[in-house]
Structure 1
Amino acid sequence: MRQIILDCDPGLDDAVAIMMALGASEKIEILGITTVAGNVGLDAVYQNARNLCSLAGREDIPVFQGCPHSIMGKHVRAAEVHGSDGVGGVILPSSTREHDVMHSVDFIVDTCMNAEDKSITICPTGPMTNLAVALIKAPEIEEKIREIVFMGGVAFGPGNCTPAAEFNIFADPHAAQIVIQTDIPKVMMGLDVTHQTPCTDDRLNELKAIGTEPANAIAAMMEAYRRLVMSRDHGQNDCMMHDPCVIAYLLEPDLFSGRHYYVEVDTHDGVSHGRTLADGLSVSKKAPNVKIMEKIDDEGFYQLLYKSLRDLG
Structure 2
Amino acid sequence: MTRKIIIDTDPGQDDAVAILLALGSPELDLLAVTAVAGNVPLPLTAVNARKVCELANRRDIAVHAGCDAPLSQPLVTAEHVHGKTGLDGTDLPDPTMPLAEEHGVDAIIRLVREGAPGEITICALGPLTNVATALTRAPDIAARIGGIVLMGGAYFEVGNITPTAEFNIYVDPEAAEIVFSSGIPITVLPLDLTHKALIDRTRLDAIRALGTPVAEAACGWLDFYERFDVKKYGGDGGPLHDPCVIAYLLKPDLFTGREINVEIETEGRFTRGMTVADWWGVTDRKANATFIGGLDADGFFSLLTERIGRL
Please give the range of the TM-score, normalised by the shorter of the 2 chains: over 0.9
Aligned to 2:13: 12
Question: For the aligned residues, what is the CA RMSD?
Answer: 1.2
Structure 1 residues 74 and 269, CA gap change in structure 2 (3 angstroms): farther
The aligned amino acid for 2:221 is M
Distance verdict in 2 for CA 1:269–1:86, change over 3 Å: same
Aligned residues of 1:35 and 1:63 also touching (Cα < 8 A): yes
Amino acid at match of 1:263: V
The corresponding residue for 2:88 is 88
Structure 2: runs of 5+ lacking an equivalent: none
- Equivalent residues of 1:39, 1:86 under 8 A apart: yes
CA distance in 1 between partners of 2:51 and 2:109 (Å): 25
Distance 2:131 2:224 in 1: 30
What CA distance in whole angstroms lies between the structure 2 residues aligned with 1:39 and 1:145? 26
One-letter amino acid of the structure 2 residue matched with residue 264 of structure 1: E
| Corresponding residue pairs, total | 310
Q: Per the alignment, in what secondary structure is the counterpart of residue 207 of structure 1?
A: helix
Q: 1:62 — aligned with what?
A: 62
Residue pairs, 1:1-313, within 5 angstroms: 1-24=2-25, 26-230=26-230, 233=232, 237=236, 239-312=238-311
Query: How far apart are 1:211 and its partner, in Å?
Result: 0.7
Q: Is the contact made by 1:132 and 1:179 (CA closer than 8 Å) also made in structure 2?
A: yes
TM-score by length of structure 2 reads: 0.97
User: Do the aligned partners of 1:83 and 1:228 also contact (CA within 8 Å) in 2?
Assistant: no
Distance in 2 (CA, whole Å) between partners of 1:238 and 1:13 is: 13
The 2-side partners of 1:226 and 1:243 are apart by: 14
- Asked whether the 8 Å contact 1:36–1:130 carries over to 2, the reply is yes
Tell me how far 1:158 sits from its aligned partner: 2.4
Moved over 3 A (4+): 228-231, 234-238
Structure 1 residues 269 and 2 mapped into 2: Cα distance closer, same or farther (>3 Å)?
same
Contact 2:22/2:246 (CA < 8 Å) preserved in 1?
Answer: yes
Instruction: Render the CA deviation track for 1:121-161: whole Å, top value 9, x for unaligned.
Output: 00100000000000000010012110100000002222111
Conservation of the 8 A alpha-carbon contact between 1:229 and 1:237 = no
Q: Distance in 2 between matches of 1:235 and 1:164?
A: 20
User: Residues of 2 paired with 1:247 and 1:240: CA distance?
Assistant: 15
SS class of match (2:310):
helix
2:18 is aligned with what amino acid?
A: A
Q: Kindly indicate whether the alpha-carbon contact (under 8 Å) linking 1:180 and 1:290 is maintained by their aligned counterparts in 2.
A: yes
CA distance in structure 2 between the aligned counterparts of 1:90 and 1:202, rounded to whole angstroms: 20
What amino acid is aligned across from residue 302 of structure 1 in structure 2?
A: F
Mean Cα deviation higher: 157-166 or 251-260: 157-166
Q: Distance in 2 between matches of 1:263 and 1:58?
A: 36
- SS at the partner of 1:10? coil
